[in-house]
Structure 1
Amino acid sequence: MSKRKRKAQMNVVTAILLLVLGITVVPNETYGNPTLYYVALNGNDSNNGTSLETPFATINKAVSVVKAGDTIFVRGGTYKLTKTINPTVSGTAAARITLRNYGSEKVIIDGSIVNEGKAGSKVIRMDNIAYWTISKIDVTRSPGMGIGILNYANNIRFEDLNIYNNGGTGLSIENFSYDNYINGVNSYFNYDEPTGGEHADGFAVKAGSVRNTFNRCKAWNNSDDGWDFWGGGQSQITKSEAFRNGLDAFGNPYPNGDGNGFKLGGHSAGGWSGNNTIRTSVAYDNLANGFDWNNASLKNMVYNSTAYNNNRGNFSYAYNFRFGNDDIIRNSISAGTGGVRLADTVDHSHNNWNLGLPDPVFASTTPGTKNFLYLTANSPYIDAGTTVGLSFTGKAPDLGAFEYGAEWR
């Protein structure tokens, strides 16, 4: 067979595999056809990595050779890193670089010995790069953050990941990084033991980072907060849940963690934070507050969200004497313990505490059940809201995170 025919056959195989796995790549004149790389525990970094029979042994090797449009498939198993995965090449809007599992195989990236266990080391560091997609892998046991998105990194997608038991924040977006999309990611049991849990959040958007989006994400049992927007913001959170943050697996408080579900602000002198929009999201059983304003210098908006049984407060918004605050809360529910503590300047209406409605009767108050905090068919909270740009069934929006008959969980 001629070299040209072999190349044509390989291109057909590549196209079929990408189609089966749901990956869309648009070839372009600069980079041509994409290359598929493979990594396996029985591989060798001296291989070419371009077939299932000749895989690389390490993800680091694959990351070092990719170009825009390429895909790295990682075979199942636990990969113990010795060096942080630190890509240096960007994709493009038309030709993203993809790192993901192969088929339905389970991939765990273990950072326990990364950089010889040096404090603060990350499993994955996305530093000043763009247009990557990383999906369907587990990230665990890092000495520091699980994943860091840093220094103007942008247009990176993380999808269907589990990030857990790391020595710092599960996934942190910092240093002016922007336009990143986090979808279907779980971040839990992250604990920075040397500080007693003071800095390990589930997710963080900090240090000037803006326009980042979280959809269908969960943060639980992290030593500090579920989400922390200290010095960052202008971001979106939708259909996401924060619960039991500030508490360990046995329900005991971490020594120094804050324990908020969604911490929507915080800044040092001269800094800023806030301007986040939270929609259809849930905070429950957190050690401190469910939705916490935390000295944001820009207003935050919370729509159709539910706070339940948070220890200190369900919604906590004090007055900011330096900036003032005109935060907006609409169509939301505060239930169970916690209550509502709001400054006079907060614009809140059509919430259950405004409308004089009785306590909600939820379909379930047992965490972990599918219908936890769903409304029942005869709930007075149905059609009790006001239009805020979200889709709804019936005559008007319902209160809370779950529209009756169109629940998203």
Structure 2
Amino acid sequence: MYLSRCIAAAVACAAAPACAATYYVAPAGSDTAAGTEAAPWQSFAHAQAVAQPGDTVWFRGGRYAYTRATTSCASRRAAVAGIVLDKSGTATQPIRYWAYPGETPVFDFAGMKDDCRVKGIEVVADWIHLKGLEITGAPQQPDNRLNHESWGVWVNGNHDVFERLDLHHNMGPGLFIKDGGWNLVLNTDSHHNYDPYTSNGAGQSADGFGAHISAGHPGNVFRGCRAWDNSDDGFDLINAYSPVTIEQSWAWQQGYLPGTHTSLPAGNGNGIKAGGYSGRYVPNGVKHVVRFSVAFDNKVSGFYANHHPLALDFFHNTAFRNAVDFNMLGIAPDGGPVYLGTLRNNLAYPDGARLKVAGADSAANSWDLHLALSAADFDSVAATGWDAPRKPDGSLPDVPMFHPTAASAVVDKGVDVGLPYHGKAPDLGAFER
């Protein structure tokens, strides 16, 4: 009887998250060490080899420098990775790769000299959770102009979480979802990414975030994310054949040499490019949703349908100081231009002069209501301060910009689209009073 109880307890413990192991990695550690806080490992690869579903790996602060990929370049057009995550967790026991509390582990791939495209971190595993990591330097080689971008994080997994990442100065997108479904990109920043050696022009492919997924992979969400100072677009959903949601996210100053307003001719310069299939009409396009988001100071469009073949949903968004605030350019079955989109409760400041929405389903937006908005309608209309530090839980900072005042003309002027609101009716724009 006693032995049976012990066996049952051991089985229960093996299946319970409370019995999962905790390991530690540090730049000055050793993979021959015990992996404890006092004797940490050194490499991500070793931590993954040991970790099992339910385990947590804590990365201590400091620089983890990579000088070569896990495999060699099969050709100058091939792609290799500095780190490959290919061990999956489970629905109830994900594998967690987290920054040690209060510290910042920096994964730096700038020293890699592989003569092909580079994925800083390649994720093909399911049910893993990356949190608090800084990822930078995914390179292109200056004498190899045969390729498009490299990538900071490249994803082809399912049910993964990418939380509180800081993705910057990569020669391509900070984070790119190639395929897979039900991935969550949460409270993550992607900025100052620039691809100077891309074959079709410097700056053409370095988005903050991208999702170009195939059919059958729904459920990808970007929430609480910020993209700024990227040479191409902030968010790019071109060629995505499964629906994607972008919500409570901000995008500004795309399409320029990062850190400047010097235009890059090849950089597209859209804040949120929410669809499109390379300018072609396709009969199996899908509907994406963009809501409660802000786009400003982008070289071309703040919110852009990008020749999408069906109406996308744009609800409760704020745009200002873009060349075009809302551009709903779609494509008809015959390949001709048509304006498509369902727009509700959006705000273009100060007026609706920078719009391309004629023919789209546009109602209860600031321009439809002919609101004469001024700075007095908001706590602030500043274009600076949006990159303020995040709150301790990683959520977006509490900034006053475009939060309506009590007497604002945008208060209670919206219509119910099934999203939460206060008062008699929804307010216009990304922020509810």
Q: TM-score band, normalised by the shorter chain?
A: 0.7 to 0.9
Pick closer, same or farther for the CA change 1:314–1:270 going to 2, 3 Å.
closer
Q: Percent identity?
A: 32
Structure 2 residue identity aligned to 1:53? A
Which residue number corresponds to residue 99 of structure 1? 97
Q: CA shift at 1:117, angstroms? A: 4.1
Which residue number corresponds to residue 368 of structure 1? 384
Which residue number corresponds to residue 46 of structure 2? 61
2:122 is aligned with 1:125: yes
2:133 is aligned with 1:141: no
With the length of structure 1 as denominator, give the TM-score of the two structures: 0.86
User: How big is each residue's C-alpha offset from its partner over 1:196-231, in whole Å with a ceiling of 9 and x where there is no partner?
Assistant: 010110000104153211111000011100010111
Which residue number corresponds to residue 308 of structure 2? 296
Q: Give the Cα separation in 1 of the matches to 2:60 and 2:363.
A: 51
Pick closer, same or farther for the CA change 1:292–1:78 going to 2, 3 Å.
same
Q: CA shift at 1:383, angstroms? A: 0.5
Which residue number corresponds to residue 41 of structure 1? 27
Pick closer, same or farther for the CA change 1:363–1:135 going to 2, 3 Å.
same
With the length of structure 2 as denominator, give the TM-score of the two structures: 0.81
Q: CA shift at 1:28, angstroms? A: 5.3
Q: Is the 8 A contact 1:350 1:385 kept in 2?
A: yes
SS at 1:182 equivalent:
strand
SS at 1:63 equivalent:
helix
Q: Is the 8 A contact 1:63 1:85 kept in 2?
A: no
Q: Give the Cα separation in 2 of the matches to 1:330 and 1:393.
A: 16
Pick closer, same or farther for the CA change 1:27–1:393 going to 2, 3 Å.
farther
SS at 1:121 equivalent:
strand
Which residue number corresponds to residue 14 of structure 1? none
Q: CA shift at 1:319, angstroms? A: 4.3
Q: Give the Cα separation in 2 of the matches to 1:263 and 1:274.
A: 14
Q: Is the 8 A contact 1:285 1:309 kept in 2?
A: yes
Question: Which aligned pairs between 1:262-281 and structure 2 lie closer than 5 A?
Answer: 262-268=272-278, 273-281=285-293
Which residue number corresponds to residue 161 of structure 1? 165
Q: Is the 8 A contact 2:350 2:374 kept in 1?
A: no
Q: Is the 8 A contact 2:350 2:372 kept in 1?
A: no
Structure 2 residue identity aligned to 1:315? F
Question: Which aligned pairs between 1:219-258 and structure 2 lie closer than 5 A?
Answer: 219-232=227-240, 233-247=242-256, 248-258=258-268
Q: Is the 8 A contact 2:330 2:339 kept in 1?
A: yes
Which residue number corresponds to residue 354 of structure 1? 368
Q: CA shift at 1:281, angstroms? A: 0.5
Q: Give the Cα separation in 2 of the matches to 1:319 and 1:186.
A: 29
Q: CA shift at 1:299, angstroms? A: 2.4
Q: Give the Cα separation in 2 of the matches to 1:395 and 1:244.
A: 35
Q: CA shift at 1:376, angstroms? A: 1.9
User: How big is each residue's C-alpha offset from its partner over 1:138-192, in whole Å with a ceiling of 9 and x where there is no partner?
Assistant: 0001112100002xx1100011111000011010001x31110011000001111
User: How big is each residue's C-alpha offset from its partner over 1:329-368, in whole Å with a ceiling of 9 and x where there is no partner?
Assistant: 0000111486111141x11100011112112433212223
* Unpaired segments ≥5 residues, structure 2: 1-9, 70-81, 140-149, 386-398
Which residue number corresponds to residue 184 of structure 2? 181
Between 31-40 and 96-105, report the one with greater CA deviation.
31-40
User: How big is each residue's C-alpha offset from its partner over 1:80-121, in whole Å with a ceiling of 9 and x where there is no partner?
Assistant: 02442112210001100000111211211101123x344421
Structure 2 residue identity aligned to 1:330? R
Pick closer, same or farther for the CA change 1:45–1:302 going to 2, 3 Å.
same
Pick closer, same or farther for the CA change 1:226–1:89 going to 2, 3 Å.
same
Q: Is the 8 A contact 2:281 2:332 kept in 1?
A: no
Structure 2 residue identity aligned to 1:178? G
How many residue pairs align between the two structures? 372
Structure 1 residue identity aligned to 2:345? N
* Unpaired segments ≥5 residues, structure 1: 1-10, 12-25, 405-409
User: What value does the CA root-mean-square deviation take over the aligned residues?
Assistant: 2.2
Q: Is the 8 A contact 1:124 1:146 kept in 2?
A: yes
Q: Give the Cα separation in 2 of the matches to 1:48 and 1:298.
A: 56
Q: Give the Cα separation in 1 of the matches to 2:221 and 2:13.
A: 27
Structure 2 residue identity aligned to 1:149? V
Which residue number corresponds to residue 283 of structure 1? 295
Q: CA shift at 1:27, angstroms? A: 6.0
